[in-house]
Each structure stands twice: as structure tokens, then as C-alpha cells.
Amino acid sequence: MTNASLMTRETIVNVLLALLLLAIPLGASAMGEPFYITLATRIAVLALAAVGLNIALGLGGLVSFGHAAFFGLGGYAAGVLATHAFDGVPLFAGIPGTDSMPIIWLVTVVVCGLLALPIGAISLRTTGVYFIMITLAFAQMIYYFAISWPAYGGEDGLSIYVRSAFPGANAAQPLPFFLICYAVLMTALGLFWLLRGSRFGAALQAARQNATRLSAVGIAPFNIRLVAFAVSAMVTGVAGALFADLNKFVSPSMMSWHMSGELIVLIILGGKGRLFGPVAGAMLYVLFEFALGGITERWQFFLGLILLGVVLFARGGLLGLLAGKARHG
Amino acid sequence: MAEPVLEILELRKTFGALKATDGVSLTLMPGEIHALIGPNGAGKSTLIHQISGSIRPNSGTIRFLGQDMAGLDMAARARLGLGRSFQISSLVQEFSALRNVMLAVQARQGSSFRFFRPVMGDPTLTEPAMAMLERVGLAGRAHMPAAELSHGERRQLEIAIALALGSKAFLFDEPMAGMGPEGSKSLTKFLDGLRHEAPILLVEHDMDAVFALADRISVLVYGRVVATGTVDVIRNDPEVRRAYLGEAA
């Protein structure tokens, strides 16, 4: 039963990765090193953004080069709502801002979903390199829109003076905030796992591998992909909101194509389509950024070399190396 | 006479100067196997593609169960009960044979927007899918990825998928291609029984199979139907012999 043993092995790797990510900040907190808590929070938030993209890219084969737009929209949702709440100025038509994370996330999910539907509906008329370019084009439109909107900082970005609140937790402190991010990440991973094994997931993965076959059994690939794109955008959006709260700052750079590329890199590093691929990828990425970034400003050159190695020699990414080939029931 | 299940009227399709389908009309009656034969490049696959909806004709009508198919895409036609197999096997390669059939069962149930319940533990999907694999004799390979199945097994799997769709007519594009004599023989027997479930429009080069199975044969040459009739009529049609069976007149 090679299938069963592989599954167990991947499960063990996943559990270890989850525990490791939890252990770093707990240990750092015990030793009074809040910097490492922030580092772990950064991993959790980037991993969450990549879990979102992994739905479209990993399961659906939709290489969106514009997911930074949704990441940034989540960031601006957090920043704008918090700023209005802080200043006591209504948003519009008497609607007040808010500094409550659950409400910010809800707004993010709605905004990202509403925007992803038309963007997806247009982009999904194309495939391959055209899909990549059209998603990039949409993201750049939103990026330049953010730059040219002085009310919310324009190019300079927008500072969040007080981190938003979560009921029952002191989110201003590093460790509780990490735990919030970690819980959201685990929830998203649970959703990804359910989605992948569901009827929708079956259709989505079939659309990636053979869209003609999917049509021939009577399922229109377009509808499946569109819903996947929207769900994917929503998850990445929530990560953006957390990212803004982590840095207490949001700027158009969250929406730039660099960010879109970074999310794709995370997935490739970790293993695309794999449940914990984004987590492994984010861990590696932040580790490089921290370790190499301390030695040289050109750390991304070395990241590039590593990425090259992964693409050439370890297609399955870190998860592929640790847990073997992906299993398909 | 009963109403035809599938009715094609004056279908035309050109690719540049090439008339791939040049005024084709034919019918598929309930309970029959209608074989479509013709030399390579005669436009058989192009015709199948137009019926299934992956290529749009320039003009003409395709009626399935009395309904005009114009404007319906491949997925919509499949949902109405037009099941097809491909000339070159078209499967979800990483999925097991069972999951390939389960996808068809799921499609038939009309419920792909279910996001949480795992498919593998869902007997409403696994049981009918397994039953279809048993019917085509693939049950022993149910958990094998489609990519690892032999050529003949993939053809069988395509047929299991078409069965699982509850198709009301089958379009089979060279199901025997590349099969050994044993495989062809058992598939011939299987298709023979299948016609009572739903009529079959069969494109096939294996003449033994065609003559054994077909109630009617249409001969396609350069995009035109040059003859339609029973096996005996076609065998003895001088034009067919000249154009296709390769005998000097």
C-alpha cells in the first residue's frame, strides 16, 4: 500500500510544519524575543495569502499574476476602515469605520469576491500566457488607482495607528496577534483540504488536467474556474488585511506585481497544489529573507538560484522532497 | 417509423478551401448502431466534433431528441445525454479510473458546486462508478491512475464514462483503434448489447467490427455521404467499392 504510506508521510510532514510554526513564537515569547514572533507572524500571513493563490494555481492551474491586487485590497480594507474608526469620520453615507478584525475580514471577503468575479470572468476567456498577462494588467490598474488616490496616502501609503482588535484577545501584543493569524491560516488550510476533496475540487482539478474531458461529461470548466478564482481571491484578501495589521501600514506596494510574483514563488518553493506547500514555501522564503538578507542586500539573487534549483531538480518543491510525490485518489 | 434520436440536416463546415463537411444529412434511430466509415481525411471526426459541440458548423441543423443543438456548447449537449468517446483517449490523467467515472456520475447528478463533502467517502458517487467499471471489465483497475492504464483499458474507461453519464445516444470515435484482436472482439460484443440502451453513432476503421455491428452504414468521402444502407447494400454498392474498399471497378 504505497499510497497509504505516502499519505501518512505527507500527513506527518504537515503536522510537523504546523507544530514548528507554532513552536517558534511560543519559544521566542518565553525567551522574551518578540522579533521572532513577528517573523513567525509574517510566515503565517504570507502562507495564508499563498493558500488562497494555491486554490487557483495549484488546484485549478490558473497562474494568476495579479493576486497582489486582492492582497492589497485586503490591506486597504483594514487600513481605510481602521483610519476612519480612529478619526471618528464616517466612511460614506454615515457608515462608520471599524477596528474590529472580524468585520474587516468580512468586508475584505465581500470586496475581493465582488471584484474577482468580473476580473475572473474576463481573464478566464483566455488561457496560458494571455491569462497571466491579463490578470497582471488588472492588478496594475488597481495598483495605479491606489497610487493616485491621495485621500488614503497615495504613493506614500497609509499608517494604521492602532492595530485592529479581535474580541477576547489583546491583538496589540505580538503573541496573541500571531495566534490569531495562525488560527486563520489553519482554518484556511482546513477549507483548502475540504475543497480539494469535494465535488467542486474534483471538477477543478479535472479542469486543470483536461478541460475537454470535463466538458464532455457536461461540466462547464469556465464556471468552475470562475468560482475557484473568486474563492482564491477572498482568502488572499484576508491575508492582506492581516498583513496590514501586522505592519500597521498599508501601501500600494502590496499590490505591485512584485508581490504577485512573490506569492507564486512561495507556492513553487513549497510545492504547488500541496496542502502545506504554501506553509513550507513561506517558511523558506522568510528564512532566506532573514538569514541572507542579514548578510547581503542582494539576497534575492540567491533566492533566484534556489528557485532555479527547485524548478529544475525538485518540481514538487519542499513538500515533494519531504513527503514524496503528490497522491491522487 | 419512430422519431430519430439524432438528426443531422445539410451540415456544412469548411476550413479555408477544404470542405470537411459538405452537406451531410443522416439520422440515428432508436436501438440502432449506425456506422460511419470512410477513408482518412473524409471528415468523420470533424462530423463527430460538430455533433458533440467542440466545432461549430457553418450551416445546417443538428437535432438531438427533437431539440436544435445550435448555440449549445459541449457541456450542455453532454448534460442532455450526448455521450462521446474520443479518437485519442481523453481522460483526467492523474485521477484513478474510478475517479474519472465518478466525475461523470457527479456531472449526471448535476451537483459540482458542493464544496465540503469528500467525494471518496460518498457512496452515491463511488457505487455507480464502480458498477460502470464492472460493466466494461475494468473493476480490477479501479484505483490505477488513468495515465498508467494500457491503451485498450483507456478506451474501455472512456466507454465507462459515457455509460455513467446515462447517455441517450453515444458517439464513439474509433473505439477499437489500437486494440488487439481479443480486445476488439470483446468490445464488439459489448457494443452489440449496448445498442438497446442507447443508439450508437460509430466511427470505426475495423471493418470486421463494423460489418458485425452496424444496422446501417454511411460512407463518407470528401465530406459527403456517398451511400447509406444496410451492411449488404454497402458491401455491394459499386461506388463504395470504388471509393473506399479500394477495388477496381
CATH at residue A6: 1.10.3470
**CB-CB under 8 Å, A329 with B99:** yes
Provide mean pLDDT across the span B196-209: 91
* Chain B interface mutation, best of A192, A196, A213, A315, highest count of B Cβ atoms under 10 Å: A213
With contacts defined as CB-CB under 8 Å, which chain B residues touch A272? Answer: none
Per-chain mean pLDDT for chain A: 91
B26 strand-pairing partners: B8
Q: How far is B58 from chain A (nearest CA, A)?
A: 22
Residue A5: per-residue pLDDT:
54
pLDDT range class, residue A1, cuts 50, 70, 90? very low
Q: Which of these CATH numbers, 3.20.20.140, 3.30.413.10, 1.10.287.980, 3.40.50.300, describes B1-75+167-249? A: 3.40.50.300
Q: Using alpha carbons, select from A69, A89, A196, A215 the residue that is nearest to residue A144.
A: A69
Residue A311: per-residue pLDDT:
83
Evaluate if residue B125 carries a pLDDT over 90.
yes
Provide mean pLDDT across the span B186-212: 91
Q: Does some domain include residue A306?
A: yes
Question: What's the CATH architecture for B82-166?
Answer: 3-Layer(aba) Sandwich (3.40)
Q: Using alpha carbons, select from A226, A245, A303 the residue that is nearest to residue B112.
A: A226
Residue B75 near chain A (CB below 8 Å): yes
Residue B216 near chain A (CB below 8 Å): no
Q: How far is the C-alpha of B81 from the C-alpha of B94, rounded, in Å?
A: 26
Q: Does some domain include residue A329?
A: no
Count of other CB atoms within 10 angstroms of residue B179: 22
Q: Kindly report, residue by residue over A204-260, the tens digit of the pLDDT.
A: 999 999 999 999 999 999 999 999 999 999 999 999 999 999 999 999 999 999 999
Q: Does some domain include residue A73?
A: yes
**CB-CB under 8 Å, B114 with A217:** no
Q: With contact defined as beta carbons under 8 Å apart, do A70 and A237 qualify? A: yes
**Alpha helices by DSSP H, B110-195:** 123-136, 151-164, 181-194
pLDDT range class, residue A93, cuts 50, 70, 90? confident
Q: Kindly report, residue by residue over A192-206, the tens digit of the pLDDT.
A: 999 999 999 999 999
Q: Does some domain include residue A328?
A: no
Residue A197: per-residue pLDDT:
95
Q: Does some domain include residue A290?
A: yes
Q: Using alpha carbons, select from A263, A196, A220, A209 the residue that is nearest to residue A55.
A: A196
Q: Kindly report, residue by residue over B162-195, the tens digit of the pLDDT.
A: 999 999 999 999 988 878 888 888 889 999 999 9
Residue B243: per-residue pLDDT:
67
pLDDT range class, residue B236, cuts 50, 70, 90? confident
Interface confidence, given as ipTM, is 0.88
Q: Does some domain include residue A152?
A: yes
* Number of compact structural domains in chain A: 1
* Chain B interface mutation, best of A199, A225, A274, highest count of B Cβ atoms under 10 Å: A199
**CB-CB under 8 Å, A328 with B75:** no
Q: How far is the C-alpha of A215 from the C-alpha of B75, rounded, in Å?
A: 4
C-alpha cell at B4: 430519430
Q: Does some domain include residue A217?
A: yes
Q: Does some domain include residue A99?
A: yes
Evaluate if residue B246 carries a pLDDT over 70.
no
Instruction: Please provide the size of chain A in residues.
Output: 329
Q: With contact defined as beta carbons under 8 Å apart, do B231 and B211 qualify? A: yes
Q: How far is the C-alpha of B150 from the C-alpha of B133, rounded, in Å?
A: 15
With contacts defined as CB-CB under 8 Å, which chain A residues touch B114? Answer: 198-200
With contacts defined as CB-CB under 8 Å, which chain B residues touch A215? Answer: 54, 73-75, 78
Residue numbers of the domain that contains A174: 2-323
Q: Where in chain B is the domain with CATH 3.40.50.300?
A: 1-75+167-249, 82-166
Q: Kindly report, residue by residue over B60-116, the tens digit of the pLDDT.
A: 999 999 999 998 999 999 999 999 888 888 999 999 999 999 999 999 998 789 998
Q: How far is the C-alpha of A131 from the C-alpha of A62, rounded, in Å?
A: 8
